Amino acid sequence: MFCPKCEEEFPDTTPTCRDCNVELVSSLKEDKFPELAVICTILNEATAYIIRGFLENENIPCQLENISFHAGPAPVADLMKVRLWARKEDVERARKLLEERQGIQVCSACETEVAFEDNVCSYCGEKLN
């Protein structure tokens, strides 16, 4: 049995939390999963790991997607992309950090990483701000 307020665990014979004075429940409701969003799409797996490490050092937890697939013998561009995901509320800050400290900007159309000095996305052709 668990206290829904302080989340302390009690034996099955105890009906209420001695500290919070609330009725115990058999299990705690799991927190909702955080809403995730793509920070950017990276065309190089090694770079994706470096960027993830940088962002995690800035207290922005990240996940990589599609890193386990490798086309062989020659890489195929669309199959080598790695998406970097974070909590939705961290995405804007992450993109700003990448722009400021890593010289990376993100295409607003396709969310692919592009060099800071580029005026046009080399992946989709979109004009960059």
Q: Supply the pLDDT for residue 70.
A: 54
Backbone angles phi, psi at 25, to 5 degrees: -120, 160
Q: Supply the pLDDT for residue 90.
A: 94
CB-based burial label for 46 (10 Å; 0-12, 13-18, 19+): exposed
Cα–Cα distance for residue pair 128/26, rounded to 1 Å: 54
Tens of pLDDT along the chain (129 residues) come to: 888 888 888 888 888 888 888 888 887 765 567 789 999 988 888 888 989 999 999 999 999 987 555 555 555 555 578 889 999 999 999 999 988 887 788 888 888 888 878 889 888 898 887
**Domains of the chain from N-terminus onward:** 1-31 (no CATH), 36-115 (3.30.70)
Give me the DSSP letters along 14-68: --B-TTT--B-BSSPPPPPPPPEEEEEEES-HHHHHHHHHHHHHTT--EEEES-S
pTM of the model: 0.62
Q: Using only C-alpha atoms, what is the Rg of the chain? A: 22
Q: Supply the pLDDT for residue 61.
A: 93
